[in-house]
């Protein structure tokens, strides 16, 4: 199988198209922020500076920006593009997309402007997710595609979680800042569970010849509910046994789903195995969550199985695939991107699994993981930026 991207030279036009479709600017922002945020975090843990802003604590900033910065950029790029496909209506482009991008960037920059009132910092970040929800809701409602309306309330719940973060940061409520970020983590997992159930088996069957995935409707109906139950149990009861049992049940249910998707032929197609491996990291997170409740592991390991492993790998794989399809390219990646996929998985291994067995060198493993993550996304940024900023290779709009 060839791993080279076919780009007919006579079809590539040098025209700036970063704001032609939603995935382009927001995947670009995500690809820039992913290594930049971790480089900044490395500087913090190495003591090169002790604070990141007067608004957030260092841990609060790291959690917030990885979820509400990097991850939300990927979600926005995906939904602003996918809704156009679902409804047949181009959702947002041009000047309106530029304005939406400015809103997103203001939320990232405002906490560093010390002269701004706290409420301005909060509002500058809180605007973005509701705007995305409104933008995607309009064509979904007009097209009466009620099966897709689920993404609007999920986005609004994400906005509520972000509000909780900001109210905590401003000391308006006594909730720890990380509680809002923890709620957001589960909402992201819920979104991936819903979308993954739609696209991963489809991509698997389309991408791997002769493979037919399996699903059990009874199990499928329980999967989103299992995430909601785990979220409520964790947020309301913390590390009480009920959370451990719910996490164990969640592990069993999602393992069954992945078993139905898996076929040994997926290893021939990087754009397929990356998505299934990413889903597998969520399953690792569920069992580690259960083990941590019963004091066989530390909760930090389940957290990073969800984030570095599940969210990091899934978003990288989805951005890689979506960008190829929507720039008119074949669903094939080059060897550099295969390396990127490998590096991010090794990053997850060093952040989650290696410290479990060799805890005495924990900080060393964290730093190795961080540099592997940075390397994976620098490769991604270098390979994909030309696709995002130039017109489609087939000359079509988008």
The two tokens of residue 60 are 């609060």
pLDDT at 57: 86
Handedness of CA 251, 252, 258, 264 (dihedral sign): positive
Residue 10 forms part of a structural domain: no
Question: In 208-240, which residue ranges form alpha helices assigned H by DSSP?
Answer: 217-237
Residue 4 forms part of a structural domain: no
pLDDT at 46: 86
Say whether 133 sits in a helix, a strand or coil: helix
If you search the block for the tokens 């390396």, which residue do you land on? 339
What's the structural domain count of the chain? 1
- Cα–Cα dist 20/93, whole Å: 5
Closest CA to 19 of 106, 74, 93, 89: 93
Residue 101 forms part of a structural domain: yes
Residue 91 forms part of a structural domain: yes
Secondary structure element (H or E) that encloses residue 363, with its range: helix 362-389
- Domain range for 369 is 15-389
Residue 273 forms part of a structural domain: yes
Residue 320 forms part of a structural domain: yes
Residue 8 forms part of a structural domain: no
Tens place of pLDDT for every residue, the chain, 398 residues?
Answer: 334 444 443 344 458 899 999 999 999 999 999 999 999 999 988 887 767 778 888 889 999 999 999 999 999 999 999 999 999 888 899 999 999 999 999 999 999 998 899 999 999 999 999 999 999 999 999 999 988 999 999 999 999 999 999 999 898 988 776 789 999 999 999 999 999 999 999 999 999 999 999 999 999 999 999 999 999 999 999 999 999 999 999 999 999 999 999 999 999 999 999 999 999 999 999 999 999 999 999 999 999 999 999 999 999 999 999 999 999 999 999 999 999 999 999 999 999 999 999 999 999 999 999 999 999 999 999 999 999 999 998 878 77
- Cα–Cα dist 162/170, whole Å: 13
Encode 340-375: b = buried (16+ Cβ within 10 Å), e = exposed. Answer: bbebbbbbbbbbbbbbeeeeeeeeebbebbbbbbbb
For the chain, the straight-line distance linking the first and the last C-alpha, in angstroms and rounded, comes to: 28
C-alpha count within 13 angstroms, C-beta hemisphere, residue 159: 18
User: What CATH number does residue 259 fall under?
Assistant: 1.20.210.10
pTM: 0.93
pLDDT at 357: 95
Residue 124 forms part of a structural domain: yes
């Amino acid at each position: 199988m060839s791993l080279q991207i076919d780009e007919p030279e006579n079809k590539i036009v040098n025209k700036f198209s970063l704001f032609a479709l939603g995935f382009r600017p927001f995947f670009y922002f995500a690809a820039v922020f992913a290594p930049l945020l971790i480089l900044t975090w490395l500087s913090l843990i190495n003591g090169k500076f002790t604070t990141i802003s007067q608004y957030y604590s260092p841990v609060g900033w790291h959690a917030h920006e990885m979820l509400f910065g990097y991850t939300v950029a990927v979600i926005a790029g995906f939904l602003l593009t996918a809704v156009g496909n679902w409804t047949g209506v181009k959702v947002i482009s041009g000047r309106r997309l530029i304005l939406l991008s400015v809103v997103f960037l203001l939320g990232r920059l405002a906490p560093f402007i010390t002269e701004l009132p706290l409420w301005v910092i909060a509002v500058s970040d809180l605007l973005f997710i509701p705007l995305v929800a409104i933008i995607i809701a309009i064509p979904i409602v007009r097209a009466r595609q009620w099966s897709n309306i689920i993404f609007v309330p999920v986005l609004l719940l994400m906005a509520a979680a972000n509000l909780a973060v900001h109210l905590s940061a401003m000391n308006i409520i006594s909730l720890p800042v990380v509680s809002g970020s923890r709620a957001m983590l589960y909402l992201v997992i819920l979104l991936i569970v819903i979308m993954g159930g739609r696209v991963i088996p489809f991509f698997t069957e389309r991408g791997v010849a002769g493979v037919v995935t399996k699903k059990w409707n009874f199990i499928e109906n329980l999967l989103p509910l299992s995430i909601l139950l785990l979220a409520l149990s964790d947020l309301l009861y913390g590390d009480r046994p009920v959370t451990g049992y719910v996490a164990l049940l969640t592990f069993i249910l999602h393992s069954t789903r992945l078993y139905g998707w898996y076929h040994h032929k997926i290893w021939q197609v990087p754009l397929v195995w990356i998505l299934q491996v990413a889903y597998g990291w969520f399953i690792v997170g569920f069992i580690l969550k259960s083990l941590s409740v019963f004091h066989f592991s530390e909760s930090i390991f389940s957290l990073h199985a969800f984030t570095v492993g599940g969210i990091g790998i899934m978003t990288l794989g989805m951005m890689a695939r979506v960008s190829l399809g929507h720039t008119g390219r074949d669903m094939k990646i080059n060897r550099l991107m295969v390396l990127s996929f490998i590096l991010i998985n090794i990053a997850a291994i060093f952040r989650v699994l290696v410290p479990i067995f060799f805890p005495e060198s924990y900080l060393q493993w964290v730093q190795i993981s961080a540099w592997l993550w940075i390397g994976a996304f620098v490769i991604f940024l270098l390979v994909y930026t030309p696709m995002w900023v130039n017109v489609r290779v087939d000359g079509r709009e988008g």
